[in-house]
Amino acid sequence: MKILVAVKRVVDFNVAIRVKADGSGVDIGNAKMSMNPFDEIGVEEAVRLKEAGKATEVVVVSIGPAQVQETLRTALAMGADRAILVKHEDYVEPLGVAKVLKEVVTAEKPDIVILGKQAIDDDCNQTGQMLAALLGWPQGTFASKIDIEESTLTVVREADGGLQTVRLRMPTIVTTDLRLNEPRYASLPNIMKAKKKPCDEMTPADYGVDVKPRLKLIKTEEPSKRQAGVKVCSASELAAKLKETGAIR
Amino acid sequence: MTVLLIAEHDNASLKEATHKALSAAAKVGGDIHVLVAGYQAAAAAEHAAKLTGVTRVLHIDAAELERPLAEPMAANIVALAADYDHIVAPATNNGKNYMPRVAAMLDVMQVSEVSDVKAADIFVRLIYAGNAVQTVQATDAKKVITVRIASFPPASETGNAVVGRKEAVADPGLSSYVGETISRSDLPELTSAKVVISGGRGMQSGENFKLLEAVARKLNAAVGASRAAVDAGFVSNDYQVGQTGKVVAPELYIAVGISGAIQHLAGMKDSKIIAAINNDQDAPIFQVADFGLVADLFEALPQLEKAL
Ligand SMILES: Cc1cc2nc3c(=O)[nH]c(=O)nc-3n(C[C@H](O)[C@H](O)[C@H](O)COP(=O)(O)OP(=O)(O)OC[C@H]3O[C@@H](n4cnc5c(N)ncnc54)[C@H](O)[C@@H]3O)c2cc1C
Ligand SMILES: Nc1ncnc2c1ncn2[C@@H]1O[C@H](COP(=O)(O)O)[C@@H](O)[C@H]1O
């Protein structure tokens, strides 16, 4: 059983980003970059399946500029066996990413592909579902638990009203939600070992994929800011103030 | 130009998310048809016929659409797509599941969670946990859109559209439904409630959420939570408000024992009035709160309940 995990390099979740004054986008300058948190969960899940003897190989793939190499090394240090870097300088939209991943899947033939449910920069929540569509595979999105039994995968999904369980034919796509697991930190020896693990370099053109964006960015703005209001001294004063606003009776 | 709006429903009636997504669809312009794909969902289809501005309801009935599973749902939508310029769905958990699948099958880049419609091809959406607002033009011939329901008012029900049956396409047979654990509450639903009161790590336990529920009952409010409270197991996943949970914009949002991380603010900062109770006067939540109470929540909540 082979598992492919897609990882994206994003601005760390702790960094407050700034919108460029000219409206052309977001200034990430020298911001700290990290693996998308949902993708850390994806790598962790794959590595656990390998440790449990259910998977034999974990391959990680990322599409982005040369620096995504670092993110891939982190995944290798967490326990992935091999990495594929698909180099592209500009932002690639989820549809483009899904098309590249489809070609990677065709070449690698994994049984399960794990993606994050959402990249915390573009907040699209699309790529896994798109990849499933392009491959004609089922999709177990927003997974909070997965179980492999022979040729099917049972996925417990985080849904609007609680948890939903579905059974999927393999090969299949899984996208991770927050409660699937708690990712490990890579140990220093594993970080050293990761430096020797193989990392192939490709480009979208090598796969014959056109990743030209379909959405044209018109402008990027600051959201409207809220003002801090007043402090009240007691719960009864709070109740009185809320009644004054008319929000409650 | 014709828009196909995909209804969110429970087979018996429409969910309010549909009414809100309709308001976004109306801003696109043109005719609006609604698809009710479900199982024994004739009542929901009749309900859809009442939506103001809708000229036609397409009703598809098949067992695999009861929940609905993404694979057959997407296949059915794609089978209808030739007749439409826009396909719109609310960005509910279901919509987020099947719509990108529809988009990729049509070779279209979806515009996710639009918070405003500027023109038939120009949409506004938030990125980076709501810290930047993007306006984008969709250049694909068809537009596939999910709608951030907290950003639109619900459409009314003054219509009288015709309901027509459509045959379901064959189930792709890739997935099957096994079961669900629904968290039941007699309080209002989080994304449609006028008042929401949420608890965070400061609540210390699931048992203590009873203090919030007592206040919620007085206010006919829904109860929500921060990620920390969900991760700690105080409440179930469907309570989570935030960047990667539910987005709400009620008349009043009360945050209790929540610090105010950007990921949480992303899900509630468009609320009309925000109140916060926290024993740390420097908690970031106070920077967005209209009314802040620096107090121990275990004392403040029972007092608040009494004062209401
Ligand atoms: C990928 C990703 C996605 C995320 N998505 C979300 C999301 O969708 N929603 C979300 O909420 N978070 C999300 N987060 C988590 C977010 O970053 C914060 O960790 C989380 O919101 C913190 O929850 P909290 O405020 O309850 O806990 P804390 O930050 O620990 O705050 C607890 C607060 O309670 C107060 N308190 C403690 N005891 C008392 C008392 N007795 N009386 C009064 N006040 C008290 C404290 O002063 C403190 O301010 C996400 C994070 C990541 C990395
Ligand atoms: N450039 C990329 N390289 C690798 N994986 C990606 C990339 N972009 C998105 N993904 C994957 O798709 C998931 C969802 O991203 P999105 O659809 O952009 O929210 C991420 O969590 C990743 O697993």
What is the ipTM score, two decimals?
A: 0.97
Q: In terms of DSSP bridges, do strands B291-294 and B111-119 run parallel, antiparallel, or are they unpaired?
A: unpaired
pLDDT above 90: residue A146: yes
B102:A141 CB<8 A: no
* Beta carbons of A248 and B286 less than 8 Å apart: no
pLDDT in tens, B11-20: 999 999 999 9
Name which residue leads in pLDDT, A29 or A57: A57
Q: Is the dihedral of CA B8, B11, B14, B16 positive or negative?
A: negative
Residue A154: is its pLDDT beyond 90? yes
Which amino acid is it at B154?
A: P
Residue whose CB lies within 8 A of the most ligand 2 atoms, among A4, A7, A8, A105, for a mutation test = A8
Closest Cα in chain B, distance from residue A95 (Å): 6
Residue B185 has pLDDT above 90, yes or no: no
Confidence of residue B150 (pLDDT cuts 50, 70, 90): very high
A125–B139 CB contact, under 8 Å = no
pLDDT, residue B184, reads 81
- pLDDT for residue A248: 87
The Cα A142–Cα A126 span in angstroms is 11
Distance CA B208, CA B43 (A): 40
Triad B256, B257, B259: Cα angle to 5°: 110
In chain A, the N- to C-terminal Cα span, in Å, equals 60
User: With 90 as the cut, is the pLDDT of residue A173 above it?
Assistant: yes
Residue A103 has phi, psi (to 5 degrees) of -70, -35
8 A C-beta contact, residue A40 and residue A47: no
Token pair in block for residue A78: 């967490």
Residue B287 assigned to a binding site: no
Whole-angstrom distance, CA of residue A148 vs CA of residue A94: 27
DSSP tag of A210: -
Best of B92, B94, B110, B192 to mutate (most A CBs within 10 Å, chain A) = B110
Q: Which residues line ligand 2 (CB under 6 A)?
A: A 6-8, 36, 38-39, 62-64, 92, 94, 97, 115-116, 118-119, 122, 124-128
% chain B with pLDDT above 90: 98
Q: Which residue of chain B comes nearest to A98, CA vs CA?
A: B104
Q: Is A167 within 8 Å of chain B by CB? A: yes
**Where does chain B have alpha helices with state H?**
16-28, 42-49, 70-80, 93-105, 209-219, 227-231, 262-265, 297-307
Query: Given this model, what pLDDT does residue B206 score?
Result: 97
Contacts of A229-234 spanning 24+ positions with Cβ under 8 A: A229/B274, A229/B289, A229/B290, A229/B291, A229/B292, A230/B290, A230/B291, A230/B292, A231/B281, A231/B286, A231/B291, A231/B292, A231/B293, A231/B294, A232/B291, A232/B292, A232/B293, A233/B293, A234/B293, A234/B295, A234/B303
User: pLDDT digit string (tens) for A85-125?
Assistant: 999 999 999 999 999 999 999 999 999 999 999 999 999 99
Q: A2-245: which CATH topology? A: Rossmann fold (3.40.50)
B251: how many CB neighbours lie within 10 A of its CB? 16
What confidence tier does A150 reach under pLDDT thresholds 50, 70, 90? confident
A31-77 confidence digits (pLDDT tens): 999 999 999 999 999 999 999 999 999 999 999 999 999 999 999 99
Q: How far apart are the C-alpha atoms of A183 and B260, rounded to whole Å?
A: 24
Q: Enter the tokens of residue B188.
A: 């209002």
Give the SS3 label for residue A200. Answer: strand
Q: Give the atom of ligand 1 at the shortest distance from the alpha carbon of B260.
A: 25
pLDDT of the residue at A247: 87
Helices B297-307 + B209-219 axis angle, to 10: 20
pLDDT of res. B183: 83
Q: What is the mean pLDDT of chain A?
A: 96
pLDDT of residue B139: 98
For residues A101 and A115, give the distance between their C-alpha atoms in angstroms, rounded to a whole number. 11
State yes or no: B137 annotated in a binding site. Answer: no
| Chain B positions in Cβ-Cβ contact with residue A229 (cut-off 8 Å) | 274, 289-292
- B104 pLDDT above the threshold of 90: yes
Residue with CA closest to ligand 1 atom 2: A37
On whether the CB atoms of residues A134 and A98 are closer than 8 A, the answer is yes
B20-64: pLDDT as tens digits: 999 999 999 999 999 999 999 999 999 999 999 999 999 999 999
Residue B65 has pLDDT above 90, yes or no: yes
User: What's the pTM value of the predicted model, to 2 decimals?
Assistant: 0.97
Q: Give the residue extent of every domain in chain A.
A: 2-245
Q: Residue A64: which H helix or E strand, with range?
A: strand A57-64
Q: Please list, in sequence order, all residues whose beta carbon lies within 8 angstroms of the beta carbon of residue A150, skipping any fewer than 6 positions away.
A: none
Cβ–Cβ gap A216/B136 under 8 Å:
yes
What domains are there in chain B, each with its CATH number? 2-166 (3.40.50.620), 195-307 (3.40.50.1220)
| pLDDT score of A186 more than 90 | yes
Mean pLDDT estimate for chain B: 97
| Residue A50: predicted pLDDT | 98
With H, G, I as helix, E, B as strand and everything else as coil, classify residue A103.
Answer: helix
Res A29: pLDDT: 83
Q: Give residue A230's pLDDT band: very low, low, confident or very high (50, 70, 90).
A: very high
**DSSP per-residue codes, B158-179:** ----EEEEEPPPPP--SEEEEE
Contact assessment for residue A8 and residue A36, using Cβ atoms and an 8 Å cutoff = yes
Arithmetic mean of pLDDT, A158-166: 96
- The amino acid present at B130, given as its one-letter code, is G
The reply to whether residue B288 touches residue A226, judged by beta carbons under 8 angstroms, is yes
pLDDT band at B107 (very low <50, low <70, confident <90, very high): very high
Q: Of the given ranges (A48-57, A108-117, A232-241, B175-184), which has the lowest mean pLDDT?
A: B175-184
User: Could you tell me which residues come within 8 angstroms of residue A224 by beta carbon, excluding any fewer than 6 positions away?
Assistant: none
